[in-house]
């Protein structure tokens, strides 16, 4: 007899979500549904009608964990809409900011999953390692982008300022010093995940991977014509789930996709492993790639070079696209500027892409592994929400502005 297992909210992730699993007599998941129950964000509406410069400042508040990707996706979308080509040094500083954020964010995720994979005798070692890595990564973000959480120096047209030569040398030395520590940390995490003994094939889905770049992002590799966005009631076959779900379902070529570190490694690095273990391994290895990127940029950066382009903020009503590879996956912002005001703004945030993929990834294994599958994707629900207006009586949808591209 089929039974329904509900985990609400799912734990040790950012934001609130629910996992509903139908299981058979053996407790094996036959149907997995995962959906956001985090309240509305609404920031796209707030930036509409305001000066373009308002958008990056406001939309970075979408999420307290991913303010860097949202800021960068926003300025990239505005740059595209306004026809701006930013200086080389500005591009390097943006890439440096995101690379450092990758290191920091992945370390945070490893802290969240530590109770799953780290034995008691190594717990202090692992947590102290996470703290040391985060401290260095955040110092890079803070110095380069102005602030560690909400980066004030990432601007439309480039970066507000270049860093000083003294700062470049100091950060270069710190990142080089961190490298052996981070390499040891990555080896520790990969080893602990292997030792956990997750069942072979856990978390594997047939969803295709989607990424635009190995680490930073490239709007040229995101085809807007291949993208569609549907309402939850068109995706979930359980009406109760569809009514409660707070996010749209983005599709690429008509299918749900997987984004994030494993997707990037698959698309650009030939990484062929799939499932829960592969997610953790790809994420850990990406920390090494990101730190190497930081070191390379800090070794090459010309601190005397300009970082701001000249541009006209009036705009031509072109739909600009910013595609940034955040730690959790591709973060796409779209902006349209005319008459000096933002006319339209929309975000396709990383976890939104993974939401329809995570539920099916729990299927075929005992429901006790369900939370492990979800956490392997490192979901962040605080940004993956949209707004609709529903009738208080029958919960029917009165106004739907989720899908407007």
pTM of this structure = 0.93
Q: Tell me the per-residue pLDDT of 117-153, one tens digit each, with 9 for 90 and over.
A: 999 999 999 999 999 999 999 999 999 999 888 999 9
Question: What is the DSSP secondary-structure string of 68-132?
Answer: HHHHHHHHHHHHHHHT----HHHHHHHHHHHHHHHHHHHHHHHHHHHHHH--HHHHHHHHHHHHH
Class of domain 3-377: mainly alpha
Nearest to 72 by CA among 89, 91, 87: 91
Domain ranges of the chain: 3-377
Q: Which residues of 36-53 are buried (b: 16+ CB within 10 A; e: fewer)?
A: bbbeebebbeebbeeebe
What pLDDT does residue 220 have? Answer: 97
Q: Is the pLDDT of residue 90 over 70?
A: yes
For residues 158 and 388, which has the higher predicted lDDT (pLDDT)?
Answer: 158
Q: Between helices 88-117 and 67-82, what is the axis angle to 10°?
A: 150
Looking at residues 324-350, what average pLDDT do you find? 95
Highest mean pLDDT among 7-11, 57-61, 171-175, 400-404: 171-175
Is 380 marked within a binding site? yes
Mean pLDDT to the nearest integer, 83-92:
98
Backbone angles phi, psi at 331, to 5 degrees: -115, 110
pLDDT of residue 405: 39
- Structural tokens at position 233: 């009631």
277-298 pLDDT, tens digit each: 999 999 999 999 999 999 999 9
| Residue carrying structure tokens 């099916």 | 360
**CB 56 within 8 Å of CB 68:** no
Residue with tokens 């109760």: 240
Q: pLDDT confidence of 1, banded at 50, 70, 90?
A: low
Q: Binding site annotation covers 333? A: no
The yes-or-no verdict on residue 403 having pLDDT over 60 is no
Per-residue pLDDT averaged across 172-183, rounded?
A: 98
Does the annotation list 246 as a binding residue?
no
**pLDDT above 90 as % of the chain:** 82
Residue 13 confidence (pLDDT) above 90: no
The predicted pLDDT at position 332 comes to: 96
* pLDDT at residue 148, rounded to an integer: 87
The pLDDT tens digits for 102-119 are 999 999 999 999 999 999
Please tell me whether residue 7 adopts helix, strand or coil conformation.
strand
Q: Please give the pLDDT value at position 46.
A: 86
**What integer pLDDT is reported at residue 65 of this predicted model?**
83
CA terminus-to-terminus distance, the chain: 43
- CA–CA gap between residue 22 and residue 371 (Å, rounded): 14
Render 342-405 in DSSP notation, one character per residue.
EEEEEEE-HHHHHHHHHHHHTTTSBGGGHHHHHHHT--BGGGS---EEE-TTT--EEEE-S---
> Is the model's pLDDT at 395 over the cut of 70?
no
Q: Give the per-residue pLDDT at 89.
A: 98
Distance of CA 283 to the CA centre of its chain: 12
């Amino acid at each position: 007899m089929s039974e329904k297992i509900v985990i609400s909210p799912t734990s040790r992730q950012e934001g609130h979500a629910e996992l509903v699993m139908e299981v058979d007599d053996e407790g094996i998941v036959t149907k997995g549904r995962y959906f956001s129950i985090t309240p509305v964000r609404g920031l796209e509406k707030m930036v509409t009608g305001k000066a373009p410069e308002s958008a990056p400042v406001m939309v970075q508040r979408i999420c307290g964990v991913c303010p860097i990707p949202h800021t960068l996706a926003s300025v990239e979308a505005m740059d595209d809409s306004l026809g701006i080509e930013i200086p080389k040094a500005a591009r390097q500083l943006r890439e440096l900011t995101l690379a450092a954020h990758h290191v920091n964010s992945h370390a945070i995720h490893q802290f969240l999953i530590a109770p799953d994979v780290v034995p008691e005798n190594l717990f202090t070692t692992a947590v102290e390692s996470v703290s040391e890595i985060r401290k260095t990564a955040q110092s890079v973000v803070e110095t380069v982008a102005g602030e560690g959480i909400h980066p004030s120096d990432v601007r439309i047209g480039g970066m507000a300022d270049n860093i000083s030569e003294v700062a470049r040398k100091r950060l270069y030395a710190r990142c080089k010093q961190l490298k052996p520590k981070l390499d040891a940390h990555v080896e520790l995490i990969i080893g602990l995940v292997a030792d956990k003994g997750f069942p072979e094939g856990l978390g594997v889905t047939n969803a295709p991977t989607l990424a635009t770049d190995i680490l930073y992002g490239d709007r040229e590799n995101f085809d807007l014509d291949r993208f569609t966005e549907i309402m939850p009631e068109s995706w979930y076959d359980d009406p109760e789930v569809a009514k409660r779900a707070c996010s749209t379902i983005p599709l690429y070529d008509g299918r749900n996709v997987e984004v994030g570190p494993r997707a990037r490694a698959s698309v650009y690095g030939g990484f062929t492993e799939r499932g829960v273990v592969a997610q953790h391994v790809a994420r850990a290895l990406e920390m090494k790639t990101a730190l190497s990127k930081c070191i390379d940029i800090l070794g090459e950066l010309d601190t005397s070079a300009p970082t701001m382009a000249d541009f006209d903020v009036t705009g031509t009503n072109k739909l600009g696209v910013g595609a940034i590879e955040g730690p959790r996956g591709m973060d796409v912002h779209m902006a349209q500027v005319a008459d000096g005001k933002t006319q339209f703004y929309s975000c396709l945030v990383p976890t939104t892409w993974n939401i329809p993929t995570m539920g099916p990834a729990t299927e075929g294994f005992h429901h006790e592994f369900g939370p492990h599958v979800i956490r392997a994707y490192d979901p962040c629900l605080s940004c993956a929400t949209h707004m609709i207006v529903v009738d208080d009586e029958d919960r029917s949808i009165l106004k739907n502005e989720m899908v407007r591209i």
